Structure 1
Amino acid sequence: MYGLLIGDALGVPYEFSAAIDLPETCLIEMAPPPWFHRAHAGVPAGTWSDDGAQALHLLKVLLDGETGLEERFAAGLQAWYSAGELTPDGQVFDIGIQTQEALARLARGVPPSHSGPYEERNNGNGSLMRVHPAALVPAADDRILVDRARRQSLPTHGHTRSLLACSLATITSARLLAGLPFVEALDQAQEYLETTTVDAERNELRIVLDGRLDAPNGSGYVVDCLWSSVAAVLRTRNFEDCVRCAISFGNDTDTTACVAGGWAGLIYGEQAIPLRWREQLHGKHLVEPMLERLVAAWD
């Protein structure tokens, strides 16, 4: 979780910038160089965005069980949006257009299983960015992991492509948690989906998997975000280089670094996260009680 949150917070100042306009990779820090025109200028360095807040809400919901997951998670998203719940300072920023639309539908009484826009154009990365906790809470089998990944997506992102991308990321994370190397974890996740995906979704699965053939752009499109994050992991050998690499692709920098940072946290461990970034992260008092519950769930 700290890998996810720190990746998110590190990427916040660089969001919306093209790769060519970013500082040198070695200069990417929580506080950018003085000459860089940072995004979200009023947000203190070390603050996670909507990505981290929604991931924490998902963790909170999953720690309380599977029953009514969509409804309880939708309520958490509404509490985040209306009152800044599980943000470091009570301030909401950087909310995606599709998520705003979904929350408006929820406010009108649309059930959370149907509130997420589901047209092909509705495949932003807003449910992928937060799915990591679906793999962290103990589950009896892969079927439950995929069920979690899909159900947490539905309130805001209902298209099959988003559901499958979240599922692939979740199985990959679960395999990393079990100690597998990243490439093997990713291969096993792909194999699982290829053997379990129903015929009606197989074309969408092929679109998700074919995304690996494209150059990483760090965009807000769910397939590009998934494979840009994979590229950041594969091109590096430690946590610091991984999240910096994710940011170096430009565009939706906080989300690419959030997804890659979650994986890198599993691969390298908390102690591999630079101490200066751990110390700069705001809101740790919100995280620690949930992590204590997560540890207890594994005992």
Structure 2
Amino acid sequence: MRWYDDGFMAVDSVFDVGVQTARAIGQLKRGVPPLEAGAGGEYANGNGSLMRVLPLALWHQGSDADLVRDAQHQSRVTHAHLRAQLCCALYGLWARGILQDRAQPFDWAVATLRALYGEATPERAELDFFIRPDDAHQCRGRGYVVEALFSARQACEQDGFEAAVKFAVALGQDTDTTACLAGGIAGLQVGLKGIPVRWREGLLGTGLYQPLLTQLLARR
């Protein structure tokens, strides 16, 4: 709410606020508890909560089950549909798999998520019948949370960080979110030295993110 109203932690100004996020902030202002503020309907499956989940995965030191639970909770604040929650959990596990040097981090993430939820659960139904992580998805970079996730996965199959981010942008549609999702994973894949220096030096908001980055690295 402070970001929305006052620009708290905004690099320049507040812009391009997603419809679901704006509605959820309105709910919070009315006193609705955070875990009840997000819309949960079938058409409330935008990618807003997915694009902000990576810092949680980097910070988290709990079990895989704890990470999944917290990834879903952070989604519920603005995007409460189970599909959006599970996409956040899957992305968080994918990031963890890379950090743990898993041979196939995305496949490991899928297997881990399936193991946490039994076959007769709503979570498995969403995962297997709507998210469908084993299928080849047609990716066009749109704002639907499932397509955003797999657009990022396709981008991260490119050779290197710059190629991944450029591929994500070239898909069109919701370019900033797709590039955010792809850049997060690609950055973990290649490490700091794999990100072009000119891109790192050109970042805005250094005074905002550097203290947070220092704290995060100290925790790791």
Quick check: 2:47–2:144 contact (8 Å CA) kept in 1? Answer: yes
Residues 23-64 of structure 1 deviation map (CA, whole Å, 9 limit, x = unaligned): xxxxxxxxxxxxxxxxxxxxxxxxxxxxxxxxxxxxxxxxxx
Task: Provide the rounded CA distance (Å) in 2 between the counterparts of 1:200 and 1:214.
Answer: 22
**Cα deviation code 1:59-81 (max 9, x no counterpart):** xxxxxxxxxxxxxxxxxxx1111
Establish whether residue 269 from structure 1 lines up as the match of residue 191 from structure 2: yes
Check whether the contact 1:211–1:223 (CA below 8 A) recurs between aligned residues.
no
Q: How does 1:145-156 map to 2 (within 5 A)?
A: 145-156=67-78
- One-letter identity of the residue aligned with 2:171: F
Partner of 1:187: 107
Contact kept? 2:91, 2:149, Cα under 8 Å: yes
CA distance in 2, matches of 1:145, 1:212: 25
The normalised TM-score by structure 1 is 0.70
RMSD of equivalent CA atoms: 1.3
1:87 and 2:7 equivalent? no
**Once the 2 structures are TM-superposed, how far is the Cα of residue 99 of structure 1 from its aligned partner?**
0.7
Alignment partner of 1:117 out of 6, 31, 39: 39
In 1, are the aligned partners of 2:110 and 2:133 still within 8 Å (CA)?
A: no
Q: Which amino acid in the other structure matches residue 190 of structure 1? A: V
Match of 1:297 in 2: 219
**In the superposition, relative to structure 1, how do residues 211 and 82 fare at CA in structure 2: closer, same or farther (>3 Å)?**
farther
SS in 2 for 1:223: helix
The residue that corresponds to 1:41 in the other structure is none
Contact 1:138 1:297 (8 Å CA) reproduced: no
Q: Is the 8 A contact 1:232 1:243 kept in 2?
A: yes
In structure 1, distance between residues paired with 2:215 and 2:156: 28
Q: 1:258 deviation in Å?
A: 0.1
User: SS in structure 2 opposite 1:213?
Assistant: coil
TM-superposition CA deviations, 1:222-247 (whole Å, max 9, x none): 0000000000001x110000000011
Does residue 172 (structure 1) correspond to residue 108 (structure 2)? The answer is no
Q: State the TM-score, normalized to the length of structure 2.
A: 0.95
Question: Relative to structure 1, is the Cα distance of residues 116 and 195 closer, same or farther in structure 2, using a 3 angstrom cutoff?
Answer: same
User: What is the CA–CA distance in structure 2 between the aligned matches of 1:225 and 1:140, rounded to whole Å?
Assistant: 26
8 Å CA contact retained: 2:83, 2:131: yes
Instruction: Tell me, in whole angstroms, the C-alpha distance in 2 between the residues paired with 1:281 and 1:230.
Output: 24
2:144 matched to 1:224?
no
Question: Structure 1: any 5+ residue segments left out of the alignment?
Answer: 1-77
Cα drift, residue 274 of structure 1:
1.2
How far 1:125 moved relative to its partner? 0.1
Q: Which amino acid aligns with 2:112?
A: Y
Cα distance in 2 for residues equivalent to 1:94 and 1:163: 22
Q: 1:97 to 1:168 in 2, by over 3 A?
A: same
The percentage of aligned residue pairs carrying the same residue is 42
Q: What is the rounded CA distance, in whole Å, between the counterparts of 2:33 and 2:161 in structure 1?
A: 39
Q: Contact (CA 8 Å) 1:102, 1:156: kept in 2 or not?
A: yes
Structure 2's unaligned 5+ residue stretches are none
How many pairs are equivalent?
Answer: 217
CA distance in 1, matches of 2:48, 2:134: 17
After superposition, the Cα gap between the structure-2 partners of 1:214 and 1:281, relative to the gap in structure 1 and judged at 3 Å, is same
Q: Work out which structure has the larger RCO, using CA pairs closer than 8 Å and 6 or more positions apart in sequence.
A: 1
Question: Structure 1 CA distance, aligned partners of 2:109 and 2:182?
Answer: 16
Structure 1 residues 292 and 140: alpha-carbon distance in aligned structure 2, compared to 1, 3 A threshold: same
How many Å apart are 1:251 and its aligned residue?
0.3
Give the whole-Å Cα distance in 2 for the aligned partners of 1:83 and 1:211: 43
Residues 212, 227 of structure 1: 8 Å contact kept:
no
Deviation at 1:211, TM superposition (A): 8.0
